[in-house]
Structure 1
Amino acid sequence: MTKIFVLDTNVLLHDPNALFAFEQHEVVIPATVLEEIDSKKRLADEIGRNARTVSRLLDGLRTSGSLHKGVPLPNGGSLIVELNHRSFVKVQELFGEMTNDNRILAVALNYSIEQQQLEQPKSVVLVSKDVLVRVKGDVLGLQTEDYLSDRSVSSNDDLYTGHRVLHVHPSVIDQFYSYRFLSVNSLNVVLKLHPHEFVILKDEMGTSKSAILKVNVDCTRLEPLYLSNDQVWGITVRNAQQRMAIELLLNDDIPLVTLAGKAGTGKTLLTLAAGLLKVEDERKYKKLLIGRPVVPMGKDIGFLPGEKEEKLRPWMQPIYDNLEFLFDTKKAGDIDKILVGLSNIQVEALTYIRGRSIPGQFIIIDEAQNLSKHEVKTIVSRVGEGSKIVLVGDPAQIDHPYLDSASNGLTYLIERFKSEGLSGHVTLEKGERSQLAQIAADLL
């Protein structure tokens, strides 16, 4: 049965194509939403870009008819812009003040009341990414939903990890050590494997016999890890997932690597160590480019004085902390002197990456979970010939107001590229920063 979906502003600012995501159903946009979108269209960030995209899409739909009377959508549904705000009386009795959120709630509530008076009523659903708007809608007796159409996975637990454990007969492990490879068919299990996925074989009899293997590009064989060195730029690998990460980071045939994991699992440190090895020691790449999105955790500190480098320093400090550890600096300011001498290491904010072409570089994008799908596409599409890009982040720690663990750019990239032979992914699980950091990541 056809439903009526009333969209909150944050849905369209998060995904302008949400206009077309409701198939054959009716989509209602309250006039308040247009006002809020209009107030955002001059912003120079992702929200401003989405606001302008929504404006253009609505302008294009005007050619099909009057928006306040309703126009057909390409997917078979229809769109109407609600102009009279409907009566605010019902909502005012509970929430009083006429805020924009309450005006949107009033539109949904009055649509619901109207439908209940019909012989064949339609379900009215308020769609919002604002939890409190959904809570208010529930108080009013409305059916409310989060916008889920753009989610790459249904939950963080469904995210591709890049590794799995298989319990096999000990003869299978012996066969691997004898021939240095295993055919996927020899495992006698039905598996959906991905290129460069790691498989940990364990003895089903309960002994300590085990092996770590990697799926080849064609997903036909399980092969040994090629890199035997457990030390990279002075950093010693401490667990199996870190070993897998180093395998991907140092493989020049894999130009796209994604690393996910909780705080303290060593994602950024391992990536920087691998990048320094490739750039400084092996000279495989001509420059190490390190960037991260400028998204604050908590209240923003406002405008900062000084030149660009001085303004960026607070945002980039986590990168400098890791570099100080890798270079074993003793005094404050030593890392700045080192980076001046090493002109092939560049720390940059992602604000300045649009329009660039970046060939022959080892590129590290830290805190990639705070990127939207569009921003990830913009960044990865900048990668030029002979470059390698590594995106690092924790999908559970989102500071962006319109993203969550299932809809952020890092999760999107992991899921879309997991079947591609030119990419590899590992989710790191064990914290190695300190015992306190591990307990905090698990309990807090």
Structure 2
Amino acid sequence: MTASKLYILDTNVLLHDPKCLFEFKEQDITIPMTVLEELDDIKDRKKTVAQEARFAIRAIDNILSAANSPTQITKGVRIMLPGIDRETPLGKLSIFPDHELGARQGFLPADKNKDNQIINCALHLQATNPHRDIILVTKDINMRLKALGAGLLKVEDYRTDQLISDLDLLPAGHQKIEGNFWDRIEQVDSYRDGDRTYHRVNREMLPHTYPNEYVYDDSKDFAARTISIEDDKVVLLDLGYSHLMQQNCWGITPITLYQAFAMQSLLDPTVDMCLLNGAAGSGKTLIALACALEMVIEQKRFNKIIVTRSTPPVAEDIGFLPGTEEEKMTPWLSSIHDNLEAMHEHDERPQSSVKYAIEKANIQFKSLNFIRGRSIQDAVVIVDEAQNLTPQQLKTIITRCGKGTKMICLGNLAQIDSNYLTALTSGLTYIVERFKGFEGSANVHFEGIFRSRLARYAEEHL
């Protein structure tokens, strides 16, 4: 029986989620030859998506290896789920030789324009399969507009890994209780464990809280963090508003309560991963770097600081830059140097202080290309510009963390540079939502901009 739908996948879908071939259930998938050519062009380059390209090619090969002849590849090979679910019925995967279409009336000019070639493939299949829904799936907004304008009836974004429908639904990592928290409490069980004070309150007071969410009220006295959720009770760690605001790391103290929450989670040894997101100039990098220096140099809890980020497309191949890997990455991690200079601007010899901090904390600038395959031990890993990473890329980085490693992801969902990511499909959004219930992860959304009044006005009005 022929599937009612035929999905045509663009290259960026396979790069965004190399496992997407198993996400279309009983419906059929076709991959234009042009897409395979693009994957082949990407897989050998030193790009952050090169591994995704290779993974996608292997997944396609594993499915098509069951074909008995080239004809079956063009007609379709049944997709089999790996592992114990192999009996689950899925659709067929085929390769469409779109290079044979040539120039046809009503088609887009395709000379050296691979997007047009893929759109033409979809238009041809729509014309020759009138009884099936032909659907082009692409992360490229402009390509979707072009396809609709060319007469393609159905074009979709790939949203299988999109966990929320609106950014307003993304957990902020903190919630405010109106009025005085204690005035609303009828019953509380308070106890101490070492130097920490805990409160067990009825869950109806905080029905939607989750592990490591921060809770505060209007009194500027109460501030706590949700530690665990029992059947009808919530256990809170009392932090104290004044104590939070008096924290000091490498000479940096928090300006806002949100920065104080972030600093508390960064310094807490029970939290393995901190996700800090917020507008440009809200202090994410400064707070993260100050805490990292404190933990490595002063507290000696870690041996080094590893800093990495998603480089702009023009610089994904860092090989053209001179010097070592750290020197090649320096232009793309200048924000780290800027914040180090800001922390030592009042020193007698600021540049010497910056150099001392880099050497003493063993700060290493690494390309994402060289993070893969490693097992990182006893280190603070700072991932800057995490909003430009796909869920698969962030998963690759997080799974590199070995024993005694703390992960810090920084990002601003309003500044996504990737060609096929949106705020809703960004890896940062995905990770924030996925780790919401994990007791070893804390998420804090920063509010307020402190870089300058110019930056604050620009963020609010542009």
TM superposition score normalised by structure 2: 0.83
Find the aligned partners of 1:214 and 1:4 in 2 and give their Cα distance.
Answer: 49
Find the aligned partners of 1:8 and 1:383 in 2 and give their Cα distance.
Answer: 32
Find the aligned partners of 1:324 and 1:77 in 2 and give their Cα distance.
Answer: 57
Runs of 4+ displaced beyond 6 Å: 174-178, 297-302
Match of 1:3 in 2: 5
Matched, 1:124 2:119: no
Equivalenced residue count is 432
Match of 2:159 among 131, 139, 148: 148
Tell whether the 8 Å contact from 2:46 to 2:316 is kept in structure 1 after alignment. Answer: no
Matched, 1:31 2:29: no
Match of 2:422 among 404, 420, 425: 404
Relative to structure 2, which stretch is displaced further, 276-285 or 417-426? 276-285
Find the aligned partners of 1:251 and 1:290 in 2 and give their Cα distance.
Answer: 19
Tell whether the 8 Å contact from 1:198 to 1:213 is kept in structure 2 after alignment. Answer: yes
Match of 1:372 in 2: 390
SS at match of 1:442: helix
Cα distance change, pair 314–96 in 1 and its aligned pair in 2 (3 A): closer
AA aligned to 2:8 is: V
SS at match of 2:289: helix
SS at match of 1:217: strand
Deviation at 1:406, TM superposition (A): 2.5
Tell whether the 8 Å contact from 1:12 to 1:18 is kept in structure 2 after alignment. Answer: yes
Deviation at 1:162, TM superposition (A): 0.8
SS at match of 1:439: helix
Cα distance change, pair 128–330 in 1 and its aligned pair in 2 (3 A): farther
Could you tell me which runs of 5 or more consecutive residues in structure 1 were left unpaired when the two chains were aligned: 203-207
Find the aligned partners of 2:42 and 2:358 in 1 and give their Cα distance.
Answer: 40
Deviation at 1:16, TM superposition (A): 2.0
Find the aligned partners of 1:200 and 1:411 in 2 and give their Cα distance.
Answer: 24
Deviation at 1:241, TM superposition (A): 1.1
Deviation at 1:96, TM superposition (A): 6.9
Match of 1:357 among 353, 375, 388: 375
SS at match of 1:215: strand
SS at match of 1:405: coil
Tell whether the 8 Å contact from 1:31 to 1:82 is kept in structure 2 after alignment. Answer: yes
Deviation at 1:301, TM superposition (A): 10
1:220-239 paired onto structure 2 within 5 Å: 220-225=234-239, 227-228=243-244, 229-239=246-256
Note the alpha carbon deviations across 1:79-99, whole angstroms, 9 max, x for none.
22222544642444x557573
SS at match of 1:67: helix
Cα distance change, pair 294–113 in 1 and its aligned pair in 2 (3 A): closer
Match of 1:415 in 2: 433
Tell whether the 8 Å contact from 1:170 to 1:209 is kept in structure 2 after alignment. Answer: no
Relative to structure 2, which stretch is displaced further, 337-346 or 263-272? 337-346
Relative to structure 2, which stretch is displaced further, 274-283 or 163-172? 163-172
Find the aligned partners of 2:6 and 2:57 in 1 and give their Cα distance.
Answer: 21
Cα distance change, pair 388–300 in 1 and its aligned pair in 2 (3 A): closer
Percent of aligned pairs sharing the same letter: 35
Deviation at 1:352, TM superposition (A): 3.1
Note the alpha carbon deviations across 1:8-29, whole angstroms, 9 max, x for none.
1221122222222211212122
Match of 1:109 in 2: 123
Match of 1:133 in 2: 143
SS at match of 2:202: helix
Cα distance change, pair 332–223 in 1 and its aligned pair in 2 (3 A): closer
AA aligned to 2:428 is: L
SS at match of 2:61: helix
Deviation at 1:215, TM superposition (A): 0.7
Match of 2:85 in 1: none
AA aligned to 1:405 is: A
Cα distance change, pair 87–413 in 1 and its aligned pair in 2 (3 A): same
Find the aligned partners of 1:77 and 1:428 in 2 and give their Cα distance.
Answer: 44
Could you tell me which runs of 5 or more consecutive residues in structure 2 were left unpaired when the two chains were aligned: 81-88, 191-196
Match of 1:334 in 2: 352
Note the alpha carbon deviations across 1:77-123, whole angstroms, 9 max, x for none.
2222222544642444x55757322221122112222333xxxx222
Match of 1:254 in 2: 271
Relative to structure 2, which stretch is displaced further, 301-310 or 192-201? 301-310
Tell whether the 8 Å contact from 1:261 to 1:429 is kept in structure 2 after alignment. Answer: yes
Find the aligned partners of 2:42 and 2:203 in 1 and give their Cα distance.
Answer: 58
Instruction: Provide the alpha-carbon RMSD of the alignment.
Output: 3.0
SS at match of 1:232: coil
Deviation at 1:337, TM superposition (A): 3.5
Matched, 1:283 2:266: no
Note the alpha carbon deviations across 1:240-291, whole angstroms, 9 max, x for none.
211211111111111211111110110110111112222222223233x131
Note the alpha carbon deviations across 1:38-73, whole angstroms, 9 max, x for none.
222322334322222222222222243321011222
Matched, 1:172 2:180: no
Note the alpha carbon deviations across 1:352-387, whole angstroms, 9 max, x for none.
333433333333222222233333223222323223
Matched, 1:271 2:278: no
Find the aligned partners of 2:379 and 2:92 in 1 and give their Cα distance.
Answer: 48
Find the aligned partners of 1:32 and 1:344 in 2 and give their Cα distance.
Answer: 45
Relative to structure 2, which stretch is displaced further, 41-50 or 126-135? 41-50
Match of 1:205 in 2: none
Cα distance change, pair 347–311 in 1 and its aligned pair in 2 (3 A): closer
Matched, 1:384 2:405: no
AA aligned to 1:316 is: L
Match of 1:70 among 72, 76, 80: 76
Match of 2:59 in 1: 57
Cα distance change, pair 234–151 in 1 and its aligned pair in 2 (3 A): same
AA aligned to 1:16 is: P
Tell whether the 8 Å contact from 2:32 to 2:118 is kept in structure 1 after alignment. Answer: yes
